[in-house]
Chains A and B, each alone.
Chain A
């Protein structure tokens, strides 16, 4: 079953955010996804960011820069997003394993060019940013205050099939 995408955005305006920052290794001893929930982005090094803050608590979309999710292959990174209802990440680019893990779990890792991310991040000045994802139209609509911006993205047929089927296990089990 397809997950719910879009919603309230939080902006992590830095490149190379790694999976150790998203979920530190000391929590990898948990054997359920749910147990990871309180530790989201606990070690993120970013000025003004509070991992225990309200902004993160209500966010369901993460917006970031280049090479998001680099480092360790731990799927605990997408999982800690999933159990915090963050099913959509929008970034300039991703580390391969993280991006694959997102789609493998039926979640979205949307790539937008730097100019679009710049505009998205600037939108914060108008107030809280809400994001709608139109998978059919392959577009992202961002609203803040009275301002509305639309950006288009590409999703491969395979990634789309993973999102539609709910993930790689479902897809592979039906096919192989």
Chain B
């Protein structure tokens, strides 16, 4: 009987099985940010166990509220900064070099096929795009990960999503994943791995695959995964070229981390994207999804483009293509946050930042801030946002505010019109 990618990773990383079904895995990466890590650090200090299992496997960033907005967030940043210095952690990203965790860590080449990755952040599932097992965890799991380099999970079962057909113009990975979540439901993948397969995924860039995997948790999934292939190798090549003689050699090596043809799945969902339309959420759950056309004309107060879901260069390009030479509606506040300094710089060089600014967008630094209503674009009571982020929970971007999730292209079109707009109707 064949194995899924997740089963292969579990087998190869199994450190202990203290009780039947409880798999304790050794970790290749423990990622840390300033919101969920400081309490773990404080507890380790209190227990007189202020150590790290392997400083090269820890990757640390200040990203959620940066630059700090008040004394409390400055204190969180300080705790993380001092801890990183104290343990001489080489890969620590502070102001000027910091970006949204799930954008900057892949960009630096830290995530590889076959890796086990945890972080105190639910969207850690993003990193499964590289053929890794990547799971969001709480602070206690993070604390044990930092100290011991292990984490416990139940035996993984995988849901296979076959994405067939051809992507229509104006339809992106965000539209696909919103559609998939609407099919699975918000707990349709709980305790499961969500494996994205098929010709549509094969043609997707790593950025688009990260968008897919990023929202696996919105269906309850433990990790999203894509199979490593030449697209993965091309993306990683500048980081791995000393490890392999050729790209083909790297591809052959990574093929170890592909699900077997006869692997057993908990369930399979076939989706033909050929007739898919741009998607948007309504209400307060990410599985409440309609076509953008169905919500066309709904007024919005703010348009936000950014986050670990859609703050990458490809996303900014799509939005800029819509905005070029046009002005956003007077009634709308447009905010864009390139997810990393490199993305910001590349967008500058391509003229994308200029397009955003000329259209009337405010360009902010890389940060998670607005997505979870912490900084850089919080909504007031009763306000509505069109957003490229991942959660439309009640009050997510500010108490009493409402969020409609959509692709960067739809968000840009909505900014121009001031009401929810299908970009293809402009």
**A residues neighboring B (CB under 8 Å):** 16, 18, 20-21, 24-26, 28-33, 43, 45, 66-67, 70-75, 78, 93-97, 100-101, 104-105, 156-158, 161, 167-169, 172-173, 175-176
Contacts and interface: CB of A to CB of B under 8 A. Distances in A.
Interface of B: 15-16, 18-22, 24, 35-36, 38-39, 42-43, 47, 49, 64-65, 70, 72-73, 75-76, 79, 120-122, 124, 136-141, 143-144, 147-148, 150, 152, 186-187, 190-191, 220, 222, 284-285, 372-374, 391, 393-396, 399
Given A31-B76, A158-B18, A172-B144, A24 B186 contact: no
Contacts of A105: 140
Contacts of A43: 394-395, 399
A158 B148 CA distance: 18
Contacts of B150: 172, 176
Contact of B374 (A28, A94, A167): A28
B222 A96 contact: yes
Given A20-B391, A66-B187, A29 B19 contact: no
B393 A67 contact: no
Given A29-B35, A93-B187, 12 more contacts: A24-B373, A25-B372, A28-B36, A29-B65, A67-B190, A75-B138, A93-B190, A97-B138, A157-B22, A158-B21, A169-B143, A173-B47
Nearest to A25: B372
A105 B137 CA distance: 13
B391 A168 contact: no
A28 B16 CA distance: 33
Contacts of A28: 35-36, 64, 374
Contacts of B72: 29-31
The CB with the most chain B CB atoms within 10 A, among A25, A94, A169, A173, is that of: A25
Contacts of B372: 20, 25, 72
Nearest to B142: A75
